[in-house]
Amino acid sequence: MIWCIAIICTLIAIIVIISGVVIFVGYLFFRPRMPTLSITYAHLYPFKYDQAGILYTHLTIVFRAENNNVRAEASFSEFEFELSFHGVKIARLLNHPFDMGKNSTRPFTYSVESDYIPLDPNQMVMVQQSLAQNRAEFRLTGHSRTWWRVGPIRSPKFWINLDCVLQFRIDDGSTTDSSHCIYKVK
């Protein structure tokens, strides 16, 4: 009885070792990379502010999801980002889960038009300083989950955390000093 159990355990151990070697060799052969997410374009349209402390703004932001894997497909989910101006929440950007083919990119354009936002006295001072400097600074933070798959083999899900400072010239709405977008895979 003990010998039968030992033989069964030995067979299971051999199967586990062979499976691990096959997965490792497959990983080395396919060399899948994590899909990425970045901001490729941003533009500020009217930046309106009145003396009563009401702010209105309109922005266009283009995200690019990219799968650099030649042999692996990718998926994104839980796509959720928040746009703010000096701590004032402007908008929440969401997207449905989506799949990407091998070696592909997909742009997502968001047209963000704020409601009229009442500002407190400290925020009013920041807006007046922004107008005087002809520079508006918005912060875009959030995350998405991603993973790659080759046939039935799928990687664990990873978080892509994005933290961007979008700086615009107010007079023409163009970005200044190309956006400081940092994404980190966790």
Residue 5, amino acid: I
Is residue 4 pLDDT above 90, yes or no?
yes
- Reported as a single tens digit per residue, the pLDDT across 115-161 is 888 888 888 888 888 888 988 889 999 999 998 887 777 778 889 88
Residue 163 has a pLDDT of 87
Q: What is the pTM of this model?
A: 0.78
Is residue 101 pLDDT above 60, yes or no?
yes
